[in-house]
Chain A
Amino acid sequence: MLKFKNVDAYYGYIHALKDVSIEVPKGKIVTLLGANGAGKTSILKVISGLLEIKEGSYEFDGKDLKNYKPEDIVSMGIVQSPEGRQIFPDLTVHENLMVGAYTRKDKLNINKSLIKGYEYFPILREREKQIAGTLSGGEQQMLAIARALMAKPKLLLLDEPSLGLAPLIVKDIFNIIQEINKSGTTILLVEQNAHQALSIADYAYILETGKVVHSGHAIELRNDEKVKKAYLGSS
Chain B
Amino acid sequence: MDYSTLTGRLSIHLDSIQEGFEELYKQHSMPELAKQFAHLLSGNFMTADVNLFFREHDQDEWHDAYVKNSQAFALLQQLSIKDTFFIYENKGDYPLAFSLPVAESAQFVVLLGRKLNKTSYSDFEKLSLQMFAQLLANAYQAYCMQKKEKDLIFSLNHRIVQLNSLVDAGIKITRLKRDGAILSHGLEQAVAMTNAARGRVKIIKRNRTRYLYFPKGFVSRDFKNYTSILSTTFTFRRTSYTFEIFDKESRHGTIDFEMTDELLLESLSRQVHVALENRELGRQAVEKLRMEQEVAVAREVQQTLLPKQLPAIENYNIAGINIPSTEIGGDYYDCLPLDDGRYALVVADVTGHGIPASLLVNSFHASLYSLLNSNFTLREFVQKLNKVIYTASPANKFITAFFALLEPATGKIEYISAGHNPAFISTREKSCVKLNAGGIILGMLGFDIPMESETVFLESGQRILIYTDGIPEADNRQGTMYGDDTLTDFFKEHGELGAQEFINGLIDDVKRFTHGAPQSDDITALYLCREK
The answer to whether A and B assemble together is no
Q: Hey, which bits of chain A sit against chain B, CB under 8 A?
A: none
